[in-house]
Structure 1
Amino acid sequence: MGAGEPTFLWLLPERAVNGFATALGGTRLLTDDERAGLERRSGEGARRRYLGARLLSRYALSACTGRPLDRWRFTRGPHGRPEPQSSADGVRFNLSHCDGLIACVVTRGRACGVDVGPTAAPDGLAAHLARRLGPAERARLEGTAPGARPALAGELWVLKEAYLKALGTGLTRGPGSFAFVRRPDGRIAVEDPLGAGDDARWWFDVVHPGPRHVLAVATEHGRPGLLRRTDLSDLSLTA
């Protein structure tokens, strides 16, 4: 995979995690550190999402490369982003999950990021997010009909997170330091004063995989129509 080649998006509903894990042998694929991380999670939902995300990453990476599921080991970048260890083929991936849904994006030789959240940000969260947007984004949000603001806030936030994850910084960088705009042709573009040429460098997809969720994918040197989505269960049942 390289520029002009597909970006692969894999989606796993949380309600399907138990069956998915059983099919892959439960926790057998996890490292000792990952098993310890699973035990540290408090609450059944948190443990289910943690396990599902670790298994989904291996499944998606193996589907894209043909490497056996049990051969994947991971390292972490300076800001904690996981990367395949000793990946000679240059494969990259990113994970996100929220209540009800787990997502994994895979590319080769290109940075990528994914973030998933609720379709409409709750009122309190929408106000909190607005304070962390850029000036033009806040103006756009304030100019939107009140009933549509939670959905716009949710979309802007997953775009912010996906981009920061693709950059590898996560929220160590302020989300108000750059802004998203829609070009006249409908394309979503980032205006980033710290990244010359980012408008041409990045492609963004916004996906509504079901009635409860919105997600964004940021792909370095992406192209329109190259996102390949695989649903591992019927997402129409997640409402």
Structure 2
Amino acid sequence: MTFKTFTAVIALSVGAALTLPSFAAEPAPAATEKPGKPAGAESKQKTMGRYSGWEGRERDLGLVMNMVVKTMNDNDAYQHEVNDALVKHHLTSMQFSKNKGLVSEAVQHEVDTEMPMLKRVAKMIEKSGDKELALKAVFDQTTCHWQLVLDTETAPGMRRYRSPFGHVLEQTTRLSQHDITEKWIHDNWTTPRFMAYAKILGVDLDVSPWQDDGIITVKLRNYTPAPKQTSAVTN
């Protein structure tokens, strides 16, 4: 699919979503008053129909889709992806830390920033015994991961994804903006952070060593599903 075609498809999809008719049913007949119901209280009305979920926020959706289309159409120097700016920000921060000899301090600062969320989830794990909550907190329910990593494979006790840095790093290395490598990032940034998260969460994680295809697998060690699942709430 060409990017012009992609743009047209997105535009048509958004237009269709925003113009789907919404139908409200006739008010339901008033229910028989039940004992204890406040005098004069109105019966709850039922509605039916099709809704996009963006009613009242059409401009927000338009701005988001405009950003996505403009980013995907930016392919003169190289094909940009929707996480491009976030990837570059991470690369620049890591390069600065490396240049100044502050990598360990930068990792610890990252962990300290996430500490309130990590401690909250740690209490939930301790209470429920559900160690899967650790992976949900780090990968599934935080924009810190899924705005950076566009696709993550999920299975009980395991998360797998491709390192998001290689595509941009190939370009910035060529321009001498960065000299770090994906392996360096994995060994000095990614893995130490996951290990620090695990310690606070009270779980043991195994992070796969770096491999050339960029696939990273994170597993709960000796994982046994908990009898009851509890959802983690993160920022």
TM range (shorter): under 0.3
Please give the TM-score of this superposition, normalised by the length of structure 1: 0.27
Please give the TM-score of this superposition, normalised by the length of structure 2: 0.28
More helix by share: 2
More strand by share: 1
Highest relative contact order (Cα 8 Å, sep 6+), 1 or 2?
1
